Amino acid sequence: MPFIMILYYVITLFLIGMLLWNFVREKKSADDMLLYLLVLIPLIMRILRVK
Amino acid sequence: MRRVWTTKVLLASAVAALMTVAGIQLYEHRHHSLPIIAGPGVTKVAMLSDYAEGLKGTPADTFVFFLEGKEAGGKILIIANTHSNEPAAILTSLIFLENAIVEKGTLIIIPQFNNSGSRNTRPGDGYPLYFEIPTDWGKKKFRIGNREASPLDQWPDPDVYVHYPDRQLLSFLDVRNTNRTWPGRANGPLMERVTHAAMEIMRKEEVDIALDIHGAETMFPVTNCIVAPEKSMRIAMLTSLTVKAREGFENHVEPSPSGFRGLSHREIGDYSDALPFLLEAPIPFLDQPTGPKTVDLLLDGKDPFLLSLSKKGKLFVPYDESGWPMDKRVGQHCSVILEIMNQHSRKYPEKTTTIRNVPRYADVVEKGVGYYFHNPDETEKKNVYDI
């Protein structure tokens, strides 16, 4: 895997971590919780490399 | 606190369930096989990767079928499904593949040029995943693909696609569009490797004519036409006039712009000796102001919003209650391809191509596209290929 691809996967992992962190910290808005989860979907699929 | 976590668990479970249900459908679509038949005219089957090592073992590799006549003559390449959401292309190519008998010259057919794109979809536009064509022996099921290759196969996209070799700046999406990545390069992004392999076929096999079959919106001026660069213009004009006079349908000629790079009708002519032609048939399914993107709309092209726009003179093709049926679009493609071959043979008699058993416009409209497809279950397995 080229170095640039490794970087992209690292960025993806970082974004997943940030979204999960925000999801855990969110206490009031169910809408925001749902949005965090929806945004997570393509990132998780990318990391799992499901084809 | 407990209530917050209950909400979170419920939401996460709901999203996971949605992801699984949708994911299974998309997985099945991506792995759905379309059995096609190498007809009696097929003499050799190769892979695109035979012409460019960089494609070997990738999801972009695809079959290349050769139909060689007993006598040498012109060499014609037919490329279908450059854009897999324009299905008149693959239907036309399969009519040639399953039925054509070449007596003089060679026909080379790539029915699933952007293999990755055919396994992609466009959920944002609510695309159906499949469509079916009725035949005498049942229904033949096709995947509805997308204009671009799947990001599962070529990722990440750049912010801007810098075209090779002209360095023109194109949309980031065009790095996965096999009608923007011509002429390609051996070690470029996957879709550049696909177009590079096709260029290698044209250079090594000394192809005379390259035909790239497409469909375009009725509201787009470059529709229902033959797009040709300067070197192909004479044959394109004669073809357009002949099909109008003899078969009664319009198919005007559009010049290939020299300043817009990456398109087959421009780069093939500039980087090989082949004469390129890009064929466009109207496809109302791709227009934006339509009703839902249904299989019916894909196949019959009937839409009340387009009809209303047609009455206001906003469309670039004639449009009435009959829509733009698939049989009409495929029939036009068949006739235009045969006429281009005919005009090329007249201009270059030493490069004559003689093909029989391929229907023209009136035949396809009368009998339907499915009439020309054969049952894979009743065909020798060695002649059935899954694409």
Q: Report how far residue B138's alpha carbon sits from residue B246's, in angstroms, rounded to the nearest whole number.
A: 33
Regions in chain B scoring below 70 on pLDDT: none
Q: What is the mean pLDDT of chain B?
A: 96
- Identify the CA nearest to B337 among candidates B313, B316, B359: B359
What distance in Å separates residue A18's CA from the closest CA in chain B?
16
Q: CB-based contact (8 Å) between A48 and chain B?
A: no
8 A C-beta contact, residue B364 and residue B338: no
Regions in chain A scoring below 70 on pLDDT: none
Residue B22 within a domain: no
The whole-number pLDDT of residue B156 equals 87
Tokens of B164: 């090779």
- Name every chain B residue with its beta carbon within 8 A of the beta carbon of A9: none
Residue B156 within a domain: yes
Read off φ and ψ for residue B68, nearest 5 degrees: -105, 130
The whole-number pLDDT of residue B223 equals 96
The whole-number pLDDT of residue B330 equals 98
Neighbours of B97 (CB within 10 A): 25
Helix (H, G, I), strand (E, B), or coil: what is residue B118? helix
What is the per-residue pLDDT across B91-103, written as a single tens digit (0 to 9) for each?
999 999 999 999 9
Residue B198 within a domain: yes
Residue B23 within a domain: no
Residue B16 within a domain: no
The whole-number pLDDT of residue A11 equals 94
- Identify the CA nearest to B275 among candidates B237, B224, B331: B237
What is the per-residue pLDDT across B348-376, written as a single tens digit (0 to 9) for each?
999 999 999 999 999 999 999 999 999 99
The whole-number pLDDT of residue A50 equals 80
Q: Report which residue type is found at B31.
A: H
What CATH number is given to the structural domain containing B287? 3.40.630
Q: CB-based contact (8 Å) between A41 and chain B?
A: yes
The whole-number pLDDT of residue A2 equals 79
CB atoms A27 and B156 under 8 Å: no
Neighbours of B260 (CB within 10 A): 13
The whole-number pLDDT of residue B124 equals 84
Q: Which domain holds residue B344?
A: 32-386
The whole-number pLDDT of residue A4 equals 85
Identify the burial level of A41 via C-beta atoms within 10 angstroms of its C-beta, where 0-12 means exposed, 13-18 middle and 19 or more buried. middle
Domain count, chain B: 1
The whole-number pLDDT of residue B177 equals 97
The whole-number pLDDT of residue B142 equals 98
CA distance to A13, A42, B124, B265, per residue, from B152 (Å): 17, 11, 17, 28
What is the per-residue pLDDT across B52-63, written as a single tens digit (0 to 9) for each?
999 999 999 999
- Whole-structure pTM over 0.90, yes or no? yes
Q: Report how far residue B355's alpha carbon sits from residue B341's, in angstroms, rounded to the nearest whole number.
A: 9
Burial of B289-321, coded b for 16+ CB within 10 Å and e otherwise, reads ebeebbeebbbbbbbeebeebbeeeebbbebee
HEC string of B333-356 equals HHHHHHHHHHHHHHHCHHHCCEEE
What is the per-residue pLDDT across B244-256, written as a single tens digit (0 to 9) for each?
999 999 999 999 9
The whole-number pLDDT of residue B351 equals 95
Residue B309 within a domain: yes
Residue B4 within a domain: no
Among chain B, residues having any CB pair with chain A shorter than 8 Å are 4, 7-8, 11-12, 15, 19, 23, 27, 30, 59, 152-153, 155-156
Q: Report how far residue B10's alpha carbon sits from residue B213's, in angstroms, rounded to the nearest whole number.
A: 49
Residue B70 within a domain: yes
The whole-number pLDDT of residue A49 equals 82
What is the per-residue pLDDT across B303-352, written as a single tens digit (0 to 9) for each?
999 999 999 999 999 999 999 999 999 999 999 999 999 999 999 999 99
Q: Report how far residue B9's alpha carbon sits from residue B109's, in angstroms, rounded to the nearest whole number.
A: 53
